[in-house]
Amino acid sequence: RPILGRRVLVTGAAGGVGRYAVQLAALGGAHVIASVGSPARAAGLAELGAAEVVIGLDGVGEPVDLILDNVGGPQLAAAWQLLAPGGDIQAIGWASGEPAVLAPYSLFSLGPARTMSTFGDVREPGPDLATLLALVATGRLSPEVGWRGPWDRVGEAATALLERRVAGKAVLDVTPAPEGTAP
């Protein structure tokens, strides 16, 4: 659905996917609320298009029309309560690693149905990737690289990502094998 003028909440907004979600929602004309786990992780999100930056869900006072959830767990269950009638949660990731437990009858509401969907249709990623690359090439979308290093440091990159020490994406540089050596 169009998001122009709608309130969009992005949970886990400091991560690589969250930073893209903030930018894309802002490009679509949404009022973007970026949710992060700590004040230190809020850096740079306003510059990417977030109209508001909140810690957890504190400070989200009005209902939201769309939630792009990267956290899952208890925060997903709490975010459900913030969803406006007719709103949707797109469950993109599950960084918390915890189960989401919804209170009895919390799914019932009067008015237009609220929905929760998963996002992960990768059958034909080409057109979506082409759109993202065009936005990056024109400077309208920033890839937000927070860690970069050679391929042999993949363990370090994975640890930094898992420990949430990277704001944005981690990039591993792959160098060609020296001439005359087996790949």
Domains of the chain by start residue, with CATH: 7-137 (3.40.50.720), 145-183 (no CATH)
pLDDT in tens, 7-18: 999 999 999 999
Tokens representing residue 46 in the block:
């306003």
Do residues 111 and 86 lie in contact, with contact meaning Cβ atoms separated by under 8 Å? Answer: yes
Measured in degrees and rounded to the nearest 5, phi and psi for residue 86 equal 85, 0
Say if pTM beats, i.e. exceeds, 0.95: no
Name the pLDDT band for 164 (thresholds 50, 70, 90). Answer: confident
**What integer pLDDT is reported at residue 183 of this predicted model?**
59
Mean pLDDT of 54-81: 96
Q: Is the pLDDT of residue 182 over 70?
A: no
Contacts of 146 (CB under 8 A, 6+ apart): 16, 166, 167, 168, 169, 170
Q: Max Cα separation, the chain? A: 70
Q: Is the pLDDT of residue 163 over 90?
A: no
Mean pLDDT of 57-82: 96
pLDDT in tens, 26-41: 999 999 999 999 999 9
Do residues 10 and 91 lie in contact, with contact meaning Cβ atoms separated by under 8 Å? Answer: no
Q: Is the pLDDT of residue 114 over 80?
A: yes
Contacts of 103 (CB under 8 A, 6+ apart): 77
Q: Which of 45, 1, 54 is nearest to 26 (CA)?
A: 45
Which of left, alpha, beta for 79 (phi over 0: left; psi -120 to 50: alpha)?
alpha
Residues in a beta bridge with 115:
88
